[in-house]
Amino acid sequence: MAATRPLPPSFQKPNFPPAPKSPDPSSAAFHIKASNFRKKKQNGSNIIRCEIKSFGHNLTIEPDSPVHVFRAASEPQLSMASDSAVKKAKKVCLFYCAETKALAENVAAQSDSIELRSITWRKFDDGFPNIFIPNAHGIRGQHVAFLASFSSPSVIFEQLSVIYALPKLFISSFTLVLPFFPTGTSERMEDEGDVATAFTLARALSNIPISMGGPTSLVIYDIHALQERFYFGDNILPCFESGIPLLKNRLQQLPDSDNISIAFPDDGAWKRFHKQLHHFPTIVCAKVREGDQRIVRIKEGDPRGRHVVIVDDLVQSGGTLIECQKVLAAHGAAKISAYVTHGIFPNRSWERFQSDYGGHPEHGLTYFWITDSCPVTVKDVKNNPPFEVLSLAGSIATTLQM
């Protein structure tokens, strides 16, 4: 039998160094982290050094050594196409009324998952609404929302007609966004015969038809009286949000953010907002009666040398805010600003508020922040100092994705 000839060097098995001993793969999974890769230059060539760490084991693999990575038997395989790795965004069809068009467009701009849908708003010759929802079949099985504005009694009926119709179009769920609940200040009876219209509107909204997904979700910002949440029936799910986070973000951007104090014009405002603003020094004002007049006084807190921000849920004539501004200035406030979620300002009462002319709080306000919950007001005060609009669009978009 002929002797076996040795293989040429090119066919011989490479003499690799033995692989480092690895722990039992069933006991721990290795984790290779990008932060453990270190790249360095050596003799003009790139050398990559990595460290592989497991529970209780630290191994260093030098260049030119083979790397063996073990996966625990119980560890599930990950797929690039795994739907569980990335949560799909909720698709929402957002309808709106004429007043909320600009806000609706801003909401849709916050997310690709929110699609604007229009409604044809017309009237018959007798003035009653003649409304049409285009492509009604196209929203079947979709999540649907409506952005409403009950700025006056004349627009409530036509919007209620749409609000009652949308859940009946075989949609998956229905959300009504009503940033400002307009009858919130009329929430109780003080004399026999008073009509609490807040309860009336809450009852009307509680009878919105149920969609395929169940009761309607109702989103309201900074409702005037907290007890009004109990006015709604079981066929609707009220979700009470707040514009205060927008104010807090804006205050952080001010150059004197470390010198801010929060003033509440009355005890009601303090009850509503003090928990959200507890990290600021607080000033509480109160109305006291002197003869036939009611005068605003400082009940507690010291405004001297501070940038004082008056906070309330809404403003109408603005008389109370102006009285607060005067008393705070008289007690040494360096600057005075104001924030309300809902700037109603009937009869253009916003014109009563003037700028402080560069740091003279006795003359006016440094800033007056409102949200766009009342779209009609936003058009009036835009680009008029001291007013500045903080948009609810981002908050609404987030709520619709819930």
The answer to whether 92-241 and 244-371 have equal CATH topology is yes
pLDDT of 218 above 90: yes
- pLDDT tens-place string over residues 55-81: 444 545 454 545 444 444 444 444 444
Non-local CB neighbours of 29 within 8 Å, separated by 6+ positions: 54, 70, 71, 72, 75
CA distance 324 to 297: 8
Q: What's the confidence (pLDDT) of residue 103?
A: 97
Q: What's the confidence (pLDDT) of residue 85?
A: 39
The domain spans of the chain are: 29-69, 92-241, 244-371
Phi-psi region of 200 (alpha: psi -120 to 50; beta: other; left: phi over 0): alpha
CA distance 312 to 251: 16
pLDDT of 147 above 70: yes
Between 89 and 367, residue with greater pLDDT? 367
Positive or negative: CA dihedral 146, 148, 154, 160: positive
User: What contacts 24+ positions apart, CB below 8 Å, involve 196-202?
Assistant: 198/224, 198/225, 198/228, 198/231, 199/231, 201/150, 202/228, 202/231, 202/232, 202/233
pLDDT of 87 above 90: no
The hierarchical CATH code for the domain 244-371 is 3.40.50.2020
Q: What's the confidence (pLDDT) of residue 193?
A: 85
Q: What are phi and psi of 7, to 5 degrees?
A: -70, 150
pLDDT of 316 above 70: yes
Q: What are phi and psi of 53, to 5 degrees?
A: -115, 140
With vertex at residue 75, the alpha carbon angle to CA 73 and CA 80, rounded to the nearest 5 degrees, is 125
pLDDT of 28 above 90: no
Beta-strand pair 293-300/236-241 = unpaired
pLDDT of 84 above 80: no
Between 229 and 251, residue with greater pLDDT? 251
pLDDT of 161 above 90: yes
Q: What is the band of 297 on the pLDDT scale with cuts at 50, 70, 90? A: very high
Between 88 and 368, residue with greater pLDDT? 368
Determine the average pLDDT of the residues in 138-153.
96
Q: What's the confidence (pLDDT) of residue 37?
A: 43
The hierarchical CATH code for the domain 92-241 is 3.40.50.2020
Q: What is the band of 382 on the pLDDT scale with cuts at 50, 70, 90? A: confident
DSSP state of 131: E
Between 288 and 157, residue with greater pLDDT? 157
Q: What's the confidence (pLDDT) of residue 81?
A: 43
Between 241 and 60, residue with greater pLDDT? 241
Task: List the end-to-end C-alpha distance of the chain, in Å, as a whole number.
Answer: 82
Q: What's the confidence (pLDDT) of residue 318?
A: 93
The total number of residues shown for the chain amounts to 402
Determine the average pLDDT of the residues in 211-227.
92
Determine the average pLDDT of the residues in 318-347.
96
Beta-strand pair 260-264/307-315 = parallel
Q: What is the band of 184 on the pLDDT scale with cuts at 50, 70, 90? A: confident
pLDDT of 82 above 80: no
Query: Tokens 């929203």 — which residue?
Result: 139
Q: What DSSP assignment string belongs to 10-26? A: GGSPP-PPPPPP---TT
Q: What is the band of 162 on the pLDDT scale with cuts at 50, 70, 90? A: very high
Average pLDDT, the chain: 84
Determine the average pLDDT of the residues in 292-306.
90
Determine the average pLDDT of the residues in 90-97.
96
Q: What's the confidence (pLDDT) of residue 54?
A: 45
- pLDDT tens-place string over residues 45-55: 454 454 544 44
Q: What's the confidence (pLDDT) of residue 78?
A: 43
Which of these ranges, 26-30, 102-106, 258-262, 373-377, has the smallest mean pLDDT?
A: 26-30
Determine the average pLDDT of the residues in 3-13.
53
With vertex at residue 181, the alpha carbon angle to CA 97 and CA 101, rounded to the nearest 5 degrees, is 20
pLDDT of 5 above 80: no
Which of these ranges, 241-245, 254-258, 290-294, 331-335, has the smallest mean pLDDT?
A: 290-294
pLDDT of 273 above 80: yes
